[in-house]
Amino acid sequence: MREKSIFLFLFLFFAIYSFAFSDIIYLKDGRQIKAKDTWEEGDLIKFYRYGQVIGYPKDKIDKIEKIKEKEVLSSEYKISQEKIDEICAGIESYTKTIIEGRQNGVPMRNFIDAINKTDDGPVRKMARKIIIRAYDIPRYFSESMKKQTIVDFQNKIYLECLKQFQKQ
């Protein structure tokens, strides 16, 4: 059961992340699609969204605005405060799952295996750093110490996330 919740959370987290770092596909009907890693394949433009590969016919697409991760993090590309809060809340929730697992004796390998099943390099790299940091923290056996450790670690990562976006 615990592994299912880990995979569900990772899916949701990656979905949130992909909206922050994406390309924008402008359709001829006026709609816009934020997509991860767009590429051409035959008569289709393909991209990642919600963990799946989706394709649109080229003749339905007006243009594609390629946004690199560096551009997203630059001050020229603004992310709304609401989106920043959403991203950081997702990271905090992920952090809670990891640190709770650490404090309750879940093997680190379970988390590493879960993130290795994703194909998103930057997210995998960030998730791996959080896992390593959580497992650097001693495991406590008293419930009060576990709870305090979990809250402290969540707050630390959440604050770091907010500060990272504040640098923009």
Tell me the pLDDT tens digit for each residue of 2-38. 444 444 444 445 544 544 546 788 999 988 887 767 8
Residue with tokens 């946004």: 67
Domain boundaries, the chain: 2-21+68-166, 22-66
What is the assigned CATH class of domain 22-66?
A: mainly beta
Q: How far is CA 149 from the centre of its chain?
A: 23
What is the tens place of the pLDDT at every residue in 77-87? 456 778 888 88
pTM of the model: 0.57
Per-residue pLDDT at 9? 47
CA distance 33 to 80: 17
Max Cα separation, the chain?
62
| Residues with pLDDT less than 50, the chain | 1-12, 15-16, 18-19, 21, 69-77
Per-residue pLDDT at 4? 44
CB atoms within 10 A of CB 104: 11
- And the tokens for 144? 């009060």
CB 118 within 8 A of CB 72: no
